Amino acid sequence: MLIRGDRLTQQQRNLVLAAFGYRWTRDNPVRERWWRGIEGKPTIPLISDDQWLRDHAFHFVKDGSRMMRTRHHAEPAYMAH
């Protein structure tokens, strides 16, 4: 099941933010560690986690209790209902 980021429960939101540690947001406390020393890191302006979640949708199992193990990427938000 694909769920838009702005429709996640708090528990789902926590799962998504933990799973996507490389996201390029100013609210991401591990961003610098993930991208340290990497050439070609993103040069786009940093956005908030809230904006990043609004812009994306995430794959969860049917009951919404956990993220799908076979999907390791986010989709554009318009892909979800």
Helix (H) / strand (E) element for 58: namely strand 56-59
Whether residue 25 contacts residue 52, with contact meaning beta carbons closer than 8 Å, is answered with: yes
Structure tokens at 2: 């694909």
Question: 33-73: per-residue pLDDT in tens?
Answer: 888 888 888 888 999 999 999 999 999 999 999 999 998 89
Residue 33 pLDDT: 85
The strand pairing partners of 3, in sequence order, are 58
* Burial of 66 (C-beta count, 10 Å sphere; 0-12/13-18/19+): exposed
- What is the pTM (predicted TM-score) of this model? 0.88
pLDDT band at 15 (very low <50, low <70, confident <90, very high): very high
Selected residue with higher pLDDT from 21 and 54: 54
Whether residue 45 contacts residue 26, with contact meaning beta carbons closer than 8 Å, is answered with: no
Q: What is the mean pLDDT of residues 11-30?
A: 94
